[in-house]
Chain A
């Protein structure tokens, strides 16, 4: 089986295809550049986080999003965060940046500083931004799925126009919380988009070893929620599919299920050397890297040169250096913060 791993449909190399514009999907050059910018920001932020972890500036669990950038960026760019919401699991740095959270306070959170987005009391797994409707950063596998469904209940109860993006991985799809939530979302017609971000490994376990089905797109079917598979290495495809899903959830007030096929380059967390997979498999995915794909597409369209990329890269390296400097210079939480925010 190991030899066939790299042959997942989503992983199949090929032309990224043209940029189109359906269902209000944005495809203009400025937007294309914005998608690339967001992905590159996440990549550079995560690389910097890994470096800081190595220097012991960051402790505990730290789950990096490298390789999966197209998923968060493509999907969240389909939202209007003044009315829509995102509820994520613990590999949450990418969603936070895609929602527009600033690298400085995010890095400060990783450093445990008072200026962190959660005042240094959340850490890597608990990024929150109430104003941007980013509802975590949740550390228990699958436990955020009912929470996201509850946010959608509020939207429906208040007759608002929003939708909720509910994120989880292939490891969470066998939790009861997933199944219970889909059932209730369907019977109550809740506008929530369930996104199974299948990076193929639940920690160190190949999802094919622990699932009765390997096509997760069918997992919503027994609750009357049709699903489809999306190539998560292509940010434009993710944006297009999630835009369509959001339109449907919004207009029909219905849950939607997407399996987005992706791959993480790093281990599950910083302590995981990822010995359960082959170097060849990893290399095959790096050849269809989401940033490479988008860069090639934009280059072909004549809207982005190598020089533009170099400039962008330099900008984000500086931005991430500045985020580290901000985190370094920020104060530790005051000891009195220990007892703050336990209760209202």
Chain B
């Protein structure tokens, strides 16, 4: 066990998997000589060479589709998107090709590919560089969508994603790269599709994933000081969704708040809220609450951009509403 950053945990996962399997390679903008726009791939070019750490031009559709073709032909590419915002240039390759080729070929082809990069707002980046796009990718059958909330999970989930024979969209965040945490050394693989109880509790279930989970845990601490015992479920994998873990918790606490920094309309958060409302109807003592990003493009002004995102205060308020407190 070592205390390392989220970026180092990702790098360890990639490095270990590249060492383990020569079909794993990484391609994207600035991944090689520049050592990664966010330094996730630092040192990998030196270690594995330009055949496996491939700098691409700024051609998102092109290099994403090249990854898809290489995966169809038997390699296990990791496609780095400098941010998920730029993945919109490439989205057809993910929607129309990566997610469907297995199905529409009658199961003849595997698609072992990981698309990864930072997702969601950072700071001062404005409307076009602050989008949380998990809802879009989670919408598509055939894709897996993974969203770790701490360095240990980042390593274990990325290793599992690289070994998976399905296309995986792996969501990180600019603000998370410097977060530190204890991470197991060496072989540490977390199966996809398993949520994790990050904090046990009895009074209310808080469901979250990725970067906002940190503020969910902060809110839970704050609530504990007020005598409210919150259980925190970290989805870790958005698709496949571990519904059973969510329902088990809600059936125990009878109250549920979902936290998702994406826009609220047709989001992962709204979908989970619907599932809980439908499947735990008889167990719920209050309507399910959703704490989402505000339904606006992200403004540049810092006070406004903070106001546009979930916060500890918004989460605490939502908990109070479901507790009628």
- Identity of the chain B residue whose Cβ is nearest the Cβ of A120 in the assembled complex: B106
Residue A138 lies at the interface, judged by CB distance under 8 Å to chain B: yes
The answer to whether B67 touches A122 (Cβ under 8 A) is no
Q: How far is the CA of A137 from the CA of B109 in the complex (A)?
A: 13
| A123: chain B residues within 8 A (beta carbon) | 104
B111–chain A nearest beta-carbon distance, Å: 8
Hey, which chain B residues are within 8 Å of A120, CB to CB?
106
Q: Mark A113-147, 1 if CB is under 8 A from B, else 0.
A: 00011111111001011100001111110011111
Interface flag for A180 (CB, 8 Å): yes
A126 to B71, CA, bound (A): 18
Known pairs A143-B96, A149-B66; A126 contacts B74 (CB<8 A): no
Distance of A51 Cα from B145 Cα, bound (Å): 44
A window 86-138: CB within 8 A of B: 87, 116-123, 126, 128-130, 135-138
**Are B109 and A151 in contact (CB-based, < 8 A)?**
no
Report B47-80 residues with CB < 8 Å from chain A CB. 51-52, 54, 56-57, 59, 61-75, 77
Q: Which of A147, A155, A187, A188 contacts B97 (CB 8 A)?
A: A147
Instruction: Determine if B66 and A150 form an interchain contact, defined as CB atoms under 8 angstroms apart.
Output: yes
Cβ contacts A143-185/B at 8 Å (1 or 0 each)? 1111111111111010000000000000000001100110110
A128/B68 contact (C-beta < 8 A), A157-B51, A184-B62 known:
no
Decide if B105 touches A176 in the complex (CB within 8 Å): no
- Please give, as numbers and ranges, the residues of chain A lying within 8 Å of B164 by CB-CB distance: 344
Judging by beta carbons under 8 Å apart, are B70 and A153 in contact? yes
A194 at the interface (CB under 8 A from B): no
For residue A152, which residue of chain B has the nearest CB? B69
Q: Does B227 contact A (CB under 8 A)?
A: no
Q: Which residues of chain A come closer than 8 Å to B71, judged between CB atoms? A: 150
In chain A, what residue has the closest Cβ to B69? A150
A184 to chain B minimum Cβ distance, whole angstroms, is: 6
Q: Which segment, of A199-207, A234-242, A335-343, faces chain B?
A: A335-343
CA gap between A143 and B66 in the complex, in Å: 10
From A150, A180, A188, give the contact of B68 (CB < 8 A). Answer: A150
B59 touches A128 (CB 8 A): no
Whole-angstrom CA separation of A269 from B248 in the bound complex = 52
Q: With A122-B104, A341-B103 given, is the CB distance from A184 to B142 under 8 Å?
A: no
Q: How far is the CB of A145 from chain B (nearest CB, A)?
A: 7
B297 at the interface (CB under 8 A from A): no
> For residues 127 through 185 of chain B, which have their beta carbon under 8 Å from a beta carbon of chain A?
141-142, 144, 164-166
CB of A285 within 8 Å of the partner chain: no
The verdict on A150 contacting B72 (CB below 8 Å), with A342-B102, A342-B103, A343-B142 known, is yes
Flag if A154 contacts B74 (CB, 8 Å): yes
Closest beta carbon of chain A to B23's beta carbon, Å: 9
Instruction: Select from chain B the residue with minimum beta-carbon distance to A155.
Output: B73
The interface residues of chain A, by DSSP majority, are classed as: mixed
Query: Max chain A CB contacts within 10 Å: which of B56, B77, B92, B105?
Result: B105
A contact residues, total (Cβ < 8 Å)? 47
A146 near B65 (CB under 8 angstroms)? yes
Q: Write the chain A residue with the least CB distance to B64.
A: A146
Q: Which residue of A lies closest to B63 (CB)?
A: A184
- Per the bound structure, the CA–CA distance linking A140 and B66 in Å amounts to 15
Asked whether A257 is an interface residue with its Cβ less than 8 Å from the other chain, the reply is no
Q: In the assembly, what is the distance between CA of A146 and CA of B65, in Å?
A: 5
Choice from B65, B77, B102, B103 contacting A145 with Cβ under 8 Å: B65
CB contacts (< 8 Å) of B56 on chain A: these are: 184
Partner of A150 from the list B70, B92, B109, B166 (CB cut-off 8 Å) is B70
- Inside 8 A of B97's CB, which chain A residues have their CB? 138, 140, 143-144, 147
Query: Is B25's CB within 8 Å of the partner chain A?
Result: yes
Min C-beta distance of A3 to chain B, whole Å: 38
CB distance from A97 to the nearest CB of B (A): 17
Chain B window 76-107, contacts with chain A (Cβ cutoff 8 Å), 1 for yes, 0 for no:
01000000000000001100110001111111
Say whether A151 contacts B72, CB under 8 Å. yes
Q: List 17 A-B contacts (CB under 8 A).
A: A119-B107, A128-B108, A130-B108, A135-B109, A136-B101, A143-B96, A144-B97, A146-B68, A150-B72, A151-B70, A153-B69, A154-B73, A157-B70, A188-B54, A343-B166, A343-B240, A344-B166
**5 A-B pairs closest in CB distance:** A150-B69, A146-B65, A180-B62, A119-B106, A128-B105
Residues of chain B touching chain A, judged by Cβ–Cβ distance below 8 Å, are: 25, 51-52, 54, 56-57, 59, 61-75, 77, 92-93, 96-97, 101-110, 141-142, 144, 164-166, 240
Task: Spell out A's residues near B (CB within 8 Å).
Answer: 85, 87, 116-123, 126, 128-130, 135-140, 143-155, 157, 176-177, 180-181, 183-184, 187-188, 340-344
New A-B contacts (9) at CB < 8 Å, excluding given A128-B104, A128-B108, A146-B68: A123-B104, A129-B108, A135-B72, A135-B73, A143-B65, A154-B74, A157-B51, A177-B61, A344-B166
